[in-house]
Structures are given as C-alpha cells and as structure tokens.
Amino acid sequence: VPRDLEVRYPPQRAVSRIRIAPGALRRLGSFVSHTVPASRVALITDAQVAALHGPAALASLRGARLAAEMIVVPRGERSKSVRQLARLWDALGTLGLDRSGVVVALGGGVVGDLAGFAAASWLRGVPWICVPTTLLAQVDSSVGGKTGIDLPAGKNLAGAFHQPAGVLVDADVLGTLPPRQVRAGLAEVVKMGMAVDGALFRFAETHAADLALRRPEALEEVVRRSIAAKLAVVRRDPHERPGGGRAALNYGHTLGHALEATLGYRRLLHGEAVAIGMAVAGALSVRGAGLAERDRARQDALLERLGLPRRIPGVSLAALLARIQRDKKGRAGAARWVLTTRMGHASVPRSIPGRLVEAALLDAGARP
C-alpha cells in the first residue's frame, strides 16, 4: 500500500430551490415536501417571529402531513451563541430528528445563521430550508450557505458552509417588520448595487421613494434582483476563496463590523453600520480606486433618501482603528478594504495607507 495517497471525492454539488412569491408562507408545507423527502420537520424561529408568523407556518407544514414541531429561541443577535446552539441540539435530540428530517429556519439572519449551523452540525449535516422574514435576510443572508454563531472573540467565528435545500421568500411577511429594520435591509441592497450590480443600484435610485415608503411591489423587486445578483457572485466563488469574487459582498463591512463591535451590537443595526461603512468606503474608493466622485455622491444621496445614517456616531478614531485591525478578514495585521472601482464593480480587498483611512474616518465624524 503506498504511503501517500491522493483521494478524489466526487464534487458536492449542492442544489438549492429558490421560490419568491407573495403569500408563499401559506404554501410552506408543500414547498418543503416538494424540496426534500422528509416527514419530520424542526421549525426553528425566534420569539417575535413565532408570535407573528409561527402559527401560519406550523399549520401549513402540518397541512402537508409533515410531523412538525416548533423550537423557539430568544430574538436578537445574542441568540447566535454556543448556548442556544446547544439548546437546539438538545431539542433536535428530543424530537428524534434523524437523517430523514429537515430543519426549517423561519426568521431573520439570526435565526438563519443559527438554525442553518444547527442543521450543518446535527448528525454531521441534515438538510435545511430557509424562510427569511426580514428584508436583510431576504436580500442577502438567505442565499449563499454561510451559517454560524458568534463567539466572545468575535462575530461569526464558528460556522460552516451549508447550502439550504430550499429558500422560500414571501415579501408579504415584511408587512409586520418594523420600518427601521426595513431600512437596515435596504443598506444591503445599496451594497449589492454598488459592489456587484449597477442596474440594481439604478433601480433602487429610481424607486427610492417607493422603497422608503416600504411599497410591497418595490420591495419585492429589489428582493428578486438582489438574490439574482448575490447568486451570480456566490456560484462563482461559493467558499470565499482569497481573490475570489465573493469578498466583494463585504463592501462597507470593514468599518461596519468595527462599528458594531465597538458599540456592542446594540446601538446600530447591522445594516445601519454597513451604511456608514459604505460612506467611508466610498470616500476611500474615490481616493484609492478611481471611483468617480459623481458615483460616490449618488451612493450617499441614495443612502440619505432611504433614511440610512452616514456619519460615525461618537466613536473615537483610536477605538475604530483598533477594531479594524482585529477584523478577521484582515491578514498579517493590515486591515483590508473592499473598494468600488465603478458602479457595480468592487475590487478584491486591499490594504489602504493608514493616513487615508484615518482622514476618511475623521471626515465621517470619528472623534480625534
């Protein structure tokens, strides 16, 4: 027997079925049974979504003769924890969810990331179906297969790539979402437009008033276009390899994550932090990546019309720089920034001279 073997396993081509339709939640049961050959369903959600949409989801699943039980976690980012993950494992054990079972995640990005990781790790991986109920989750986190939890050392540090077998998007559920959460989701739409799809940016620009008023037709259209834009990126680079295109989706996130961490994940919603992050990344893009000043101004004007913040709220420059250095996406100590070279095109992450970063942060309101 040779000492060194090279083993080639068949490529794992994950398939996801994605369905976007108003009122789709009422047909969750038939979507699940047409997507996976399961008879037992663990419906995982948070307390707020359970109260608003849990009964409809459960009734639809049971109406399709699926043995479904609901597992509820507290709402909020703090549920993306080892503690809640361990609770889910216990609950899945109690339900007796075996390999023929399926996890359905009903909720925002928190529930999707947590329940998706529970599915990825339970029995070394059972299928899951994502039913995103926030705009952020509908336009961004529900596709791409990133799942995981936060650790005391940082956000999203433990996780797995585990593509959902299905994604069911019902824009009607956004009707119960607080307006501030809708605006936060729109920040990721602007990101998708600036970083990967100029036509999406122009659509959001043309329909900014309808989006700001949360008109369902406009929201549904940006959901469709954002999912298509994200899929195009993720299919080319599913695992975010160095130099692969997926990192473009982190436009605005270097500073965004630093703001969230510095402020303790309370004061700003993720999308709000990303909006401020894009304002700064836009300024750096003009300085360091050839973005036309006119296009930077269009970005900031759109953020403003959508009711999103662009100024850094009372955080010191030193605190931000320290956080930015620690960002897990930075390598060898140097923080890296995704910059937009022109509308709809982001660059691979690159190091930016410290003095440019400091000037841009001070301009955006960081305390000296």
Pairing of strands 345-346, 67-73: unpaired
Residue whose beta carbon is closest to ligand NAD = 109
CB of 300 to ligand NAD, least distance (A): 22
DSSP characters over 74-100? -SSGGGSSHHHHHHHHHHHHHHT--TT
Q: Choose between 76 and 313: whose C-beta lies nearer to ligand NAD.
A: 76
Q: Choose between 183 and 310: whose C-beta lies nearer to ligand NAD.
A: 183
**Structural tokens at position 265:** 């994940």
CB of 125 to ligand NAD, least distance (A): 17
CB of 25 to ligand NAD, least distance (A): 10
CA–CA separation, 203 and 259 (whole Å): 28
Question: How crowded is residue 212: how many other Cβ atoms within 10 Å of its Cβ?
Answer: 17
Q: Choose between 81 and 351: whose C-beta lies nearer to ligand NAD.
A: 81
Residue 151 backbone zone (phi > 0: left; psi -120 to 50: alpha; other: beta): beta
CB of 274 to ligand NAD, least distance (A): 9
CB of 112 to ligand NAD, least distance (A): 6
Amino acid at 156: N
**Structural tokens at position 218:** 């406009």
Q: Choose between 150 and 295: whose C-beta lies nearer to ligand NAD.
A: 150
CA–CA separation, 177 and 156 (whole Å): 24
CB of 105 to ligand NAD, least distance (A): 10
Those residues whose C-beta lies under 8 Å from the C-beta of residue 5, and which sit 6 or more positions away, are none
Q: Choose between 41 and 187: whose C-beta lies nearer to ligand NAD.
A: 187
CB of 140 to ligand NAD, least distance (A): 5
Helix/strand/coil for 167: strand
Amino acid at 366: A
Q: Choose between 74 and 354: whose C-beta lies nearer to ligand NAD.
A: 74
Q: Choose between 106 and 360: whose C-beta lies nearer to ligand NAD.
A: 106
**Structural tokens at position 47:** 């307390």
Footprint of ligand NAD (CB under 6 A): 46, 48-49, 52, 75-77, 80, 107-111, 113, 133-134, 136-137, 140-141, 144, 146, 156, 173, 176-177, 181, 270
Helices then strands, counting H and E runs in the chain, come out as 14, 12
